[in-house]
Structure 1
Amino acid sequence: MASNPPGDCCATGFRHEGTPAGEIKDIDGVKTYISYPKEKTDKAVFVVSDIFGIFINGQLVADEFAKAGYLAVLPDLFQGDQIKLEDQAAGKVNLPVWLKDHQPSHVDPVIASTIKYLREEQGIKRIAGAGYCFGAKYTARFLKEGQLDVGYMATPSFVTEEELAAIGGPLSISAAQTDHIFTTELRHKSEDILIKNGQSWQINLYGGVSHGFAIRTDLSIKHNKFAKEQAFYQAVAWFNQYL
């Protein structure tokens, strides 16, 4: 595998503070958070969430992409069955059992319907996928002509070598120094795969942080906050270049 399956570190993190600026809409039966840029655009960022789905951290990230000039969407990949932070904190999360009900056969249709909505209802011509942890797998799966045009992953999990080798567009990855999911060995293997693939790519390694830092880090720690912000800037710079 290009990255290991999700583990306990995927179900840990810190809730961020802020007030979401977007709105919740029902898109073909899927609860979807949408954040709008100041000016009309034909470019969008599809925020492909971690296992916490639509929650404050992801919403605030979507808002930042909207501030950068993109229409940002964050659909509920789990149809109301996302992991809750309070359950994680109370030790109620059984990730292997939960994952059985959230396989590609469950998630792929949500991704496909959201892309269709963006292109047919919103008039979007170019779509970037920003996959965080769990969502990285689906960024890779849908980084194909007519689906996602550009990809970004932060501390990817559950991405197979075959999925990574089959991407059809530019891909940027934010990696953490301490990551049992996207290990040093798997990061180097991913580099080899991307070189052979021939698409434009980059992998930036952030020291002193761990898996999930780009979406769930403790912002009270100055270095963590800096790394999270830099990973976001990495994504925006990549989208500005290739989208």
Structure 2
Amino acid sequence: MGEMKPVKTLSGDTEFPCYIAKPNGPAKAAIIVIQEIFGVNAGIKAKCDHWAKAGYLAIAPDLFWRVNADTDLDADVPEEFQTALDLMNKFDQDQGIRDIEATIHFARNSVNGGKVGCVGYCLGGRLAFMTAARTDINASVAYYGVGIDSLLRESHAIAHDMMLHIPTTDGFVPADAQAAMHEGLDDHPKITLYDYEGLDHGFAAEFGNRRDETAASLADSRTEEFFKAHLE
């Protein structure tokens, strides 16, 4: 449904690739889909296509473009999982936020100054939190964001609504980190947290062994209602 197209960096001196899926008619708003460590793969593209079918302009920036071109990895293949971890370690998250900000500018212009939201998964969930704190994004959603407990000092800067989906047996987000997130964010007027009991990291992946259909459907329905309320 979509295709890869270039978007200018904030400095305007170069471009980076984004998967862009357009709705059939005028877009209600734009949604930026922030990748896992596996790049803009089939699952991330499918999520963009879903949002486009729902009437949004959907854009997934290839955030690893500076360290590895055209990253497209499968979480169920051990060698590719290791490659993804290696790329994450090379990735500059602060620079990634600047690329997301450039994507926000592109998206907002593309919807005639309308609203822009973001939804991120895994590393992308962490980046969604950083985006909510550091940019003018209108609404943000994080699925199993890693290391958000280390970002709580930035939560005061989150001015627009945000939702976090937290699987309670996440192998990458231990119980003490989850407890810190609840302690630091439960009273935040703009943030809603949902726990998914007994679920592991990646439960909402579009494809592969990690997906839990029931939990993914519940979380995605909450995300859809959230964006309907805050972007339309």
TM-score using structure 1 length: 0.79
Displacement of 1:146 in angstroms is: 6.1
Say yes or no: does 1:212 pair with 2:209: no
Hey, what's the Cα distance between the residues in 2 that align with 1:165 and 1:234?
24
- Give structure 2 stretches of 5+ with no counterpart: 9-14
Residue correspondence of structure 1 range 131-142 to structure 2 within 5 A = 131-142=120-131
The DSSP-based 3-state class of the residue aligned with 1:53 is coil
SS at 2:25 equivalent: coil
TM-score by length of 2: 0.83
Shift of 1:134: 0.3
Does structure 2 retain, via aligned residues, the 8 Å contact 1:68–1:236?
no
| Gap change, CA 1:63 and 1:219, over 3 Å in 2 | farther
1:117 aligns with 2:97: no
Cα distance in 2 for partners of 1:96, 1:226 equals 28
Counterpart in 1 of 2:169?
178
Unmatched runs of 5 consecutive residues or more in structure 1:
1-20
Mapped contact 1:53–1:76 kept (Cα < 8 A): yes
Instruction: Show the counterpart of 1:203.
Output: 193
Change (3 A) 1:219 1:231: farther
Whether the 8 Å CA contact 1:44–1:70 is kept in 2: the answer is yes
Contact 2:74 2:80 in 1 (8 A): no
Q: Once the two structures are superposed, what CA deviation does each residue of 1:65-91 show, in whole Å capped at 9, x if it has no partner? A: 122221111010100263622895236
Alignment-derived partner of residue 78 in structure 2: 89
- Is the counterpart of residue 56 in structure 1 residue 42 in structure 2? yes
1:122 and 1:108 mapped to 2: Cα distance?
Answer: 21
Tell me how large the CA RMSD over aligned residues is: 2.6
Shift of 1:185: 3.0
Structure 1 match to 2:12: none
Which structure is richer in relative contact order (CA contacts within 8 A, separation 6 or more)? Answer: 1
1:66 alignment partner AA: A
Distance 1:165 1:137, change over 3 A: farther
**For the residues of structure 1 that align with 2:75 and 2:152, how far apart are their CA atoms?**
33
Corresponding residue of 1:191: 182
**Matches of 2:60 and 2:51 in 1, distance apart?**
11
Q: Kindly tell me the number of residue pairs found equivalent between the two proteins.
A: 220
Instruction: Report if the CA contact (8 A) 1:150-1:170 is conserved.
Output: yes
